[in-house]
Structure 1
Amino acid sequence: MANHKSAVKSIRKTARRTEINKNRVSRVRTYIRKAEEAIETGVKDSAQAALKIAEKEIMRGVNKGVIHHNTASRKVSRLCKRVKALGAV
């Protein structure tokens, strides 16, 4: 247990930030899952719409500091590739 007043406050702040960051990561993962589900249906229009929303949420996660920029870019790139492949079928 913390012995100083500032350490106690630090623990409170960390707990609060952890909860917020967990929610942010969960939100990003939800939108990625929705995009993947739209891709699985095979309807290109809905997949593109879901991708647009997912990309926005992923980049928001980068700005908030819960996802690394390169990780986000990789995820967006792979989703784009899969949506683009729908048109080739």
Structure 2
Amino acid sequence: MANTPQSKKRARQLERRTEVNKARRSRLRTFLRKVEEAIASGDQAKATEALRAAQPELDRGVTKGVLHKNTVARKKSRLASRIKALSA
């Protein structure tokens, strides 16, 4: 348990950051789920729109420190290639 005033403050800050990060991560997952559902339905236009909406959110997750930039780059690339494969 935190004993010094500084460590108590850091513990309070950590709780707040954890809540914010949890909300951001949940929001990201929602956008990714919408893309996944659109891909599963086989509708390329709908999937493209969902990915276009998800990309800025993923990038925002990088700048806010929720996800690593390479992780987001990999996710965007894989989703784009799966959407592209729908037309074939």
Q: TM-score range by the shorter chain?
A: over 0.9
The alignment-based identity, stated in percent, is 53
Secondary structure of the structure 2 residue equivalent to 1:2: coil
The equivalent residue for 2:26 is 26
TM score, norm. by length of structure 2: 0.95
Alignment partner of 1:66 is 2:66: yes
Number of residue-to-residue matches in the alignment: 88
CA distance in structure 2 between the aligned counterparts of 1:48 and 1:32, rounded to whole angstroms: 12
Residue correspondence of structure 1 range 6-85 to structure 2 within 5 A: 6-85=6-85
Say which is worse superposed, 71-80 or 51-60, in terms of deviation. Answer: 51-60
Q: Which runs of 5+ in 2 are unaligned?
A: none
Secondary structure of the structure 2 residue equivalent to 1:20: helix
Q: Which runs of 5+ in 1 are unaligned?
A: none
CA distance in structure 2 between the aligned counterparts of 1:68 and 1:42, rounded to whole angstroms: 29
Secondary structure of the structure 1 residue equivalent to 2:66: coil
Structure 1 runs of 4+ with >2 Å offset: none
CA distance in structure 1 between the aligned counterparts of 2:56 and 2:39, rounded to whole angstroms: 17
Q: Give the root-mean-square deviation of aligned CA atoms.
A: 0.8
User: Aligned letter for 2:36?
Assistant: E
TM score, norm. by length of structure 1: 0.94
User: Aligned letter for 1:52?
Assistant: R
Give the Å deviation of 1:71.
0.3
1:16-74 Cα shifts (integer Å, max 9, x gaps) = 00110111111111111110000111111111000111111111100111100000000
